[in-house]
Each structure stands twice: as C-alpha cells, then as structure tokens.
Amino acid sequence: MVTSDSFFGGAPEVNASAPGRVNLLGEHTDYNDGYMLPVATPQRTTVALSRSNDGHFVFYSSTLDANVTFAPEGSAPSGFGSYIEGCIRLVEAEGVQVPPLRVWVSTDVPVGSGLSSSAALEVATLRALRQMLGFELDDVKLARIAQRAEIEFARVNCGIMDQMASSLADESNMLFIDARTLEHRLAPLPPDAEIIVIDSGIARKLAGSKYNERRAECEEASRKLGVTALRDVQDPASVETLPEPLRRRARHVVQENLRVLEAANGVSLERFGELMDASHFSLRDDYEVSIPELDELCALLRAQEGVVGARLTGAGFGGACVALCKAGYAQRAAEAALNEYNKNGRQGRLLIPVPHEGKENNESV
Ligand code: NG1
C-alpha cells in the first residue's frame, strides 16, 4: 500500500472528504420523483490532489491498492478511476480547465454494502477539485454533477438520493430530500435515537437487473395512471385499479412517500420504528426486492431490547439492514442479532455503530 506522503512525495495540494449514506426511510422513491430521509455515515472517503508533473493523470486507491494512469486525451478504464474521471470531465464541461492531476483515494465506507461508497468518492473528488481550482459550485449542483458522473461514466442508472445525501447530509440529522425539486432540509432524528446498520453478507447480485425492471414498472404504472411520475398520484386508492404487478409496485411507492412525509414532520421514536417496519413489509410484499436473509435479519433486530423498527436499506436483493433503537442499546442489540444471524456460517457484519478500531468487523460478536 502506498501512503499519501509517498504518493505525492510530501503533502498534497488539497485534501477533501465525503461520507457514505444510510437511508432511514424512502426506498425506491428517488427515481419516482419522491421523498427520502437519509443520514450521513461516520465512515468517509478521502481524496487528495496535486498537479501532476509528467503530463498524465495518475489515480491511486489505497483501499484497493490499485493504480490508473492515462494521458489527458485518453480515459480511465472502468473501475474506481471512471468515477474520478467522470467528475473531472464534467467539471471541464462546465468550462473549468483541469490540469493533469495525481489523485490519491482512501475510504472506510464499506464497498458493495449499500452505503454509497460510489457517491462518497464522487462527492469527495468534486470537493477536492473545487478547493484546488477555486470555481463556484454549490452543494446541490455538486450532487447533480456527481450523479451524472455515476450515470454517464460508471454506467449506473441511479437516482439522486446518494449524491444529495453525501453532499448535504450530516450524521446527527436526517436530510429530507424532494427528488423532483431537490428541495432539502435537515430534520432532526427522533429524540434519543440510535442507528444500527448490519451488512447481511449477501452480495446484491440481482440488484442491477431487477432495479431497472422496477424502474420500468413504475414508468408504466405512471403512464397508465396519467401522471408524470408516481409522486404525482393524488388519491392513493387510484393505484388499486392497476393490473398486477403494477398495482403493488405503485402502492409501495405511494405509501412510502406518505411514510417519509409523516416522519419528516417529526414523530416519536416508536412511531418512526413502526414506519420503518411498514416500509420493510411493503418492500418485501409489494415491491418484492427483499430476500429471506434480509427478512430474517430485520426480524432478529426487531426482537432485541430497545429496537423500535428495522428494514432493508438500499435497492435490496442483498446488502444491508438498518434499525432504529433507543440511545444506549445499539451495540448490544446489534451484537445479539448478529450472533444469531451468523449461526450456520453466515457472514453478516456490523457497519454502524462503527466497530472499534483494530478489531475485525465481526470479531465483536
Ligand atoms: P443502493 O442500493 O444503496 O446503491 C440504489 C440507488 C438509489 C436508490 C436506491 C433505492 C444506485 C447507485 N443507487 O441505492 O438511487 O434508488 O437504490 O431506494 O443505484
């Protein structure tokens, strides 16, 4: 592994960082122009930059111990370099001259667990570029460019939630986001709340193809209902006229938006938990993006003292579960749920609260 000091031969010109995100409520709503409530993760991605003196772009990821080098007229191969190159090319498209750079990346946001390590990389890269080159870029525009980098360069057809959260959320408040207008505001977590996130250890194999299938179903449901997007459905009962499976897909999105709006206005911890449970059951039964392992993990979390609600978080088909509990209960509840879940050789691991340094993630259980 190459340290930042040895990569740059001293200190870099600039250093910036950005968090991952965990979505508490509002799943599969962003591409339906709807609402969501993510918080920032304590884990962050750091990007350091200096001008390159050999005329080439050189990217190094200390997490992957991987290198990418290309000439200014060339491009990065697919992989972590394409997210960084995407940010650079889109900043150039805004009229900013970007010189060849050396870029050093390091992250403790878990990759592939649904905490948006890609958005953290994009947002940290754009923050570092803004700091080095001194151009004007507000945090919402920054999130939009980060999303375009993901869609156009990493070829992932994502909504705007991840980049908005990484750019604007913090750890102690939820960020209410309206995906259509990009209006956003910080909303306090319910009083005395603590967050648990556990990776199920199941890779999100079908996430890509099924994600696109769900998006297409939502678009078809909107067409049949005569609305621009499911966010525009005024009468929740109107979705009941749709043919299956569109009826259940649309019902999830419409009800999920209502849950977010209720939670964003301030509810008790217990009510927030009920809304999370309802979200999970809707994702499982109506949206059909859960798997038995996520259902089991959520049930185990719900059974622990102090836990008020649990749901899958992210696209589904694997990845992580998020739970909310009373302050002071998170560590014990997470460890007990994980212990039970990991019987029979499963590879679940604690992501939040962040396991103590020096320990393997699941050594604490
Ligand atoms: P995850 O599964 O956390 O990557 C994906 C989308 C989000 C959103 C959620 C479902 C990507 C990169 N992100 O999140 O925009 O649509 O699913 O709510 O695909």
Residue that wins the pLDDT comparison between 101 and 111: 101
Asked if residue 252 is part of any domain, the answer here is yes
* Domain total in the chain: 2
Give the span between the Cα atoms of 287 and 283, in whole angstroms: 5
Asked if residue 358 is part of any domain, the answer here is no
Asked if residue 362 is part of any domain, the answer here is no
Residue 175's pLDDT is what?
97
Collapsed DSSP state (helix, strand, coil) of residue 57: strand
CATH code assigned at 128: 3.30.230.10
pLDDT in tens, 203-235: 887 667 899 999 999 999 999 999 999 999 999
Beta strands 320-326 and 193-199: pairing type?
antiparallel
CA-closest residue to ligand 1 atom 6: 158
pLDDT in tens, 233-253: 999 999 999 999 999 999 999
197 and 286 together in one domain: yes
157 and 254 together in one domain: no
11 and 154 together in one domain: yes
Residue 137: Cβ within 10 Å count:
17
- DSSP states along 102-119: EEEEEE-SPTTSSS-HHH
Q: What average pLDDT is seen over the chain?
A: 94
Range of lowest pLDDT (170-174, 280-284, 326-330): 170-174
Q: What order of strands is seen across the sheet that includes strand 320-326?
A: 307-313, 320-326, 193-199, 349-352
Where is the domain boundary, 188, 222, 240? 188
323 and 249 together in one domain: yes
Nearest in space to 263 (alpha carbons), one of 4, 38, 11, 18: 38
Where is the domain boundary, 141, 162, 188? 188
Residue 360's pLDDT is what?
42
pLDDT in tens, 257-267: 999 999 999 99
28 CA → ligand 1 middle, Å:
7
pLDDT in tens, 181-200: 999 999 999 989 999 999 99
Residue 362's pLDDT is what?
36
231 and 342 together in one domain: yes
Q: Confirm if 82 and 153 have CB atoms less than 8 A apart.
A: yes
Q: What order of strands is seen across the sheet that includes strand 66-70?
A: 14-23, 38-51, 101-107, 57-61, 66-70
182 and 199 together in one domain: no
72 and 47 together in one domain: yes
161 CA → ligand 1 middle, Å:
8
Residue 335 has pLDDT above 50, yes or no: yes
State the catalytic residue, choosing from 30, 33, 162, 178: 162
Nearest in space to 161 (alpha carbons), one of 321, 20, 320: 20
| Catalytic status, residue 5 | no
128 and 252 together in one domain: no
Six-digit token pair at 349? 């691991």
Name residues contacting ligand 1 (CB within 6 A): 27-28, 30-31, 114, 116, 156, 158-159, 161-162, 314-315
27 and 97 together in one domain: yes
Residues spanned by the domain of 202? 193-352
Contacts of 143 (CB under 8 A, 6+ apart): 123, 160, 163, 164, 166, 167, 168, 182
Of ligand 1's atoms, which has the minimum distance to the CA of residue 157? 19
Asked if residue 221 is part of any domain, the answer here is yes
Phi first, then psi: give them for residue 21, nearest 5 degrees. -145, 150
Give the span between the Cα atoms of 257 and 272, in whole angstroms: 14
